[in-house]
Amino acid sequence: TVKGCIKAAEGNKIVAMDLTTAEVYVAAVLAKDLALMDVFKSGGNFHSTIAHKVFQLPCEVEEVAELYSDRRQAAKAVTFGIMYGAGPAKISEQVTKDSGKYFSPKEASEVIKDYFDAFHGLKSWIEDRQEFIAQNGFVYSFFGRKRRLKNVESTDKGIKSHSIRSGLNFLVQSAASDVNLLGAIDMQSFIQKNSMEARIFALVHDSILAEVPEDEVEFYSENLQRLIQQDRGIYIPGAPIGCDFEIGEDYSMGKFEKLYGDIL
């Protein structure tokens, strides 16, 4: 409901840019996993392509969602889950919730194994970073920020494991966030240089929000994407990080009015 309260002035639009699968993109680059990079280069539906490769499905990538929706859901859960140290129990829970069909921890364990067999570079990188964090109690992001993780010294295994997972998460989330932030800074300079009336007013997670005059929307969007996707060191040649744009009268992109239009 709060999003619906953020409205563009008359003659303007709210333009929201979100990075797509940014953390996996960052992980692929940091891990130097060529197989995972190739998924981005393929240009197809990301999660369908992952499932097709991991499970060696006997169909075209475009058919995965229809013919093997459960495999696609499992691959999607593992893709996001492993960045947070999710194990079989968590993957089982997530796939069961998302698909509406029970997915056992045993099945989840097999999927994780298949996933890392397909993307062994990612597995090696995760294990290496986890070991470094456990031994040193800190880690540096790609852009040089330091995260101190003193709880790796805890005698409580749960606390120690959580700290290691936080460190791994920091490596991918911070880099994605910095790419977004640097793009926003460059875009603000571009706006000023070109005397545009567009106004960036918030950064939310991997999103950049702006209020943009209708006659500037296309120009603003094209240049924001260009600046976000430039090579800052975390880059896959031929497959820049994905940008998804939504344009609407308010930040909810019309959902607020659909829900509460009768009482407005």
Return the domain boundaries, the chain.
34-118
pLDDT tens sequence across 56-102: 899 999 999 899 888 888 888 888 887 777 888 888 888 888 878 88
DSSP annotation string for the chain = -TGGG-BPPTTEEEEEEEEESHHHHHHHHHHT-HHHHHHHHH-S-HHHHHHHHHHT-SS-GGGHHHH-HHHHHHHHHHHHHGGGT--HHHHHHHHHHHHSS---HHHHHHHHHHHHHHTHHHHHHHHHHHHHHHHHSEEE-TTS-EEE-GGGG-S-HHHHHHHHHHHHHHHHHHHHHHHHHHHHHHHHHHHHHTT---EEEEEETTEEEEEEEGGGHHHHHHHHHHHHTS-SS---TT-PPEEEEEEESBTTTTHHHHHHGGG-
* Per-residue pLDDT band at 1 (split at 50, 70, 90): low
19-48 burial code (b ≥16 CB/10 A, e <16): bebbbbbbbbbbbebeebbebbeeebebbb
pLDDT tens sequence across 229-239: 999 999 999 99
Does the pLDDT at position 264 exceed 60? no
pLDDT tens sequence across 2-16: 788 889 999 999 999
Half-sphere exposure of 70 (CA within 13 A, CB side): 10
Average pLDDT for residues 41-59, to the nearest whole number?
Answer: 89
> Percentage of the chain with pLDDT > 70?
97
Average pLDDT for residues 123-140, to the nearest whole number?
Answer: 96
Angstrom distances, CA of residue 137 to CA of 131, 147, 149, 210, 242: 10, 9, 5, 38, 32
Mean pLDDT, all residues of the chain: 91
Q: How far apart are CA 186 and CA 179, in angstroms?
A: 11
pTM value > 0.95: no
Write down how long the chain is.
264
